[in-house]
Amino acid sequence: MTVGKNAMVLLSLPVVPVITTQPQSRTNLAGTLATFTIGATGDEPITYQWRKGGTNIADGAYFSGTATTTLSINGVTSGDAAKYDVVVTNAGGSVNSLVATLTVISPSVLVTGITATATSELASLGRIAAHAVDGVYYDTAFWESVGVNQGFGTDPSPAITFDLRQVWSLDSYVIWNGHELAPSIKRMVVETALDGIKFTALGEVTLSKIAPQSETNLLNGVLARYVRFNILENGAGQVFPVVGDPTAWSLVAIDEVEFHGKLATVAPTQIVLQSPAFTPGMFRFDIFSAAGVTFDVERALSLTGPWINVGSVLIGSGGSGVFEDNSPPTGAGYYRAVLR
């Protein structure tokens, strides 16, 4: 072919794909289906490669659509929680999408294996704290305090404490209030603790229903092993703590309590060091935190350091662990626990 000197040759070069729809971050309950979608335009053919944490993934038992515009992850678990993106390619080159984060949360479940203790109980009538957490509502089996001047004893400041046995991220509790109006709980303060000693008040709660109806109250993911109900007023109008003689019938009762939440999988924002014990040649203390996490224990002769690692503590299923230093310093010493 002969081309004149004024002739023009038009070349059409491939254009790098343009992403029109970015994948979006999402939160899924464990066991559900998660999908990410991307939209792109450009010269065909266009190929797609999804990545998890920057590494290419392929179709398999859980992933599908890894080379398409829609990535599907079946039955997500905590191991799928990660950052995902996709590389879009054609003859003109490649472009990476924005990163989308998959957050996986466990569904809220009923907490089982709870034990309960109370400041007082009518054990002679079978109205004991244990009946408030046995998972069954009975009209004749519940917790009831001895009250004040009722012939059963004296309890001017009734309270009931629940030990969940492990650290939980609590979403809510369901309470079947006393089935009779007078001893039902009208107002109480809910407190939580990791160690059963240092309780934090979450606020005052006013209950409006009595058994056999139930009432749900939110706890919004608070981390706790122990929950305590401090009673402020019963249905008869008796205010606690009682100062002087009671002005009304002063028993209080709870028929049943259920807690719902998720086992804590991260450490609380702070840990609790408790019960230091000193014996010749040994220093011991307890660490209360989330089950399954590990702390490195460091020691120094002054608060400014240097800090030396002297061991580690794995927090057990009960939400606690023990550290023992069999070679403590002979003078002043300082210890700290650092989340691994």
Asked if pLDDT for residue 185 goes beyond 50, the answer is yes
Confirm whether 13 is domain-assigned: no
Instruction: Specify which of 108-122, 238-252, 281-295, 297-311 reaches the highest per-range mean pLDDT.
Output: 108-122
Asked if pLDDT for residue 268 goes beyond 50, the answer is no
Confirm whether 10 is domain-assigned: no
The answer to whether residues 146 and 58 belong to one domain is: no
Structural domain for 150, as ranges: 110-263
**Strands 100-105 and 26-29, bridge-based pairing:** parallel
Q: How confident is the model at residue 278 (pLDDT cuts 50, 70, 90)?
A: low
Of residues 107 and 144, more confidently modeled: 144
3-state secondary structure of 65: coil
Q: Please state the rounded mean pLDDT for residues 110-131.
A: 93
The answer to whether residues 114 and 174 belong to one domain is: yes
The answer to whether residues 162 and 42 belong to one domain is: no
Of residues 112 and 14, more confidently modeled: 112
Of residues 310 and 264, more confidently modeled: 310
- Lowest-confidence region among 7-16, 98-107, 112-121, 171-180: 7-16
The answer to whether residues 136 and 188 belong to one domain is: yes
The answer to whether residues 221 and 293 belong to one domain is: no
Which residues have a Cβ under 8 Å from the Cβ of 207 and sit 6 or more positions away?
175, 177, 184, 185, 186, 187, 188, 215
Residue 11 CA, distance from chain mean position:
61
pLDDT for the residue 28: 83
The answer to whether residues 251 and 294 belong to one domain is: no
Q: Please state the rounded mean pLDDT for residues 126-147.
A: 89
Q: What is the pLDDT of residues 81-102, one digit of tens each?
A: 889 999 999 999 999 999 999 9
The answer to whether residues 162 and 240 belong to one domain is: yes
Of residues 4 and 298, more confidently modeled: 298
Q: Tell me the C-alpha to C-alpha distance, in Å, between residue 112 and each of 2, 93, 225, 325, 327.
A: 89, 56, 12, 35, 41
Q: Please spell the DSSP secondary structure of 112-174, one letter per residue.
A: -S-EEEES--BGGGTB-GGGGGSS---SS--EE---BSSSS-B-SS-EEEEEEEEEEEEEEEE
The answer to whether residues 49 and 150 belong to one domain is: no
Q: Please state the rounded mean pLDDT for residues 28-37.
A: 88
Domain total in the chain: 3
C-alpha span between 171 and 66 (Å, rounded): 35
Confirm whether 7 is domain-assigned: no
Asked if pLDDT for residue 7 goes beyond 80, the answer is no
Q: What is the pLDDT of residues 289-313, one digit of tens each?
A: 766 777 888 888 877 778 888 888 8
Q: How confident is the model at residue 113 (pLDDT cuts 50, 70, 90)?
A: very high
The answer to whether residues 168 and 134 belong to one domain is: yes
Among the three residues 263, 295, 311, which one is the final residue of a domain in this structure?
Answer: 263
